[in-house]
Homo-oligomer: A and B are copies of this chain.
Amino acid sequence: MHGYADNKQDHVRRLRRIEGQIRGLQRMVEEDKYCIDILTQVSASNRALQSFALSLLEEHMAHCVAEATAKGGAEAEAKIKEASDAIARLVRS
């Protein structure tokens, strides 16, 4: 079981809304909407994806990372390193 198991349906619903936003972007391009309005919608989708990622990450730290660090040792270090690398990818993307 993963950290996000309790909120699985929330996460799926949230991702469906983001999928709807991306389909909305396709429609905007097909209907020749104004570029700036499309860009505003892209920023909103990006923020929605980030919020999803941040809530997943918080649950991961509260469960997987916390369990590993409670045991300590190499496994704990590996989990911290893995989470830090994922955070770096998010910060830089």
Question: Are B26 and A39 in touch, CB under 8 angstroms?
Answer: no
What DSSP secondary structure best describes chain A's contact surface? helix
With a cutoff of 8 Å between Cβ atoms, the chain B residues found around residue A49 in the complex are 42, 45-46, 49
Question: Are B61 and A84 in touch, CB under 8 angstroms?
Answer: yes
Contact-residue size bin, chain A (C-beta under 8 Å from the other chain): 35 or more
Q: Which 6 A-B pairs have the closest CB atoms?
A: A66-B69, A35-B60, A58-B84, A43-B93, A43-B89, A42-B53
A interface with B by C-beta (< 8 Å): 1-5, 8, 11-12, 15-16, 18-19, 22-23, 25-26, 29-30, 32, 34-36, 38-40, 42-47, 49-50, 52-54, 56-62, 64-66, 69-70, 72, 76-77, 80-84, 86-93
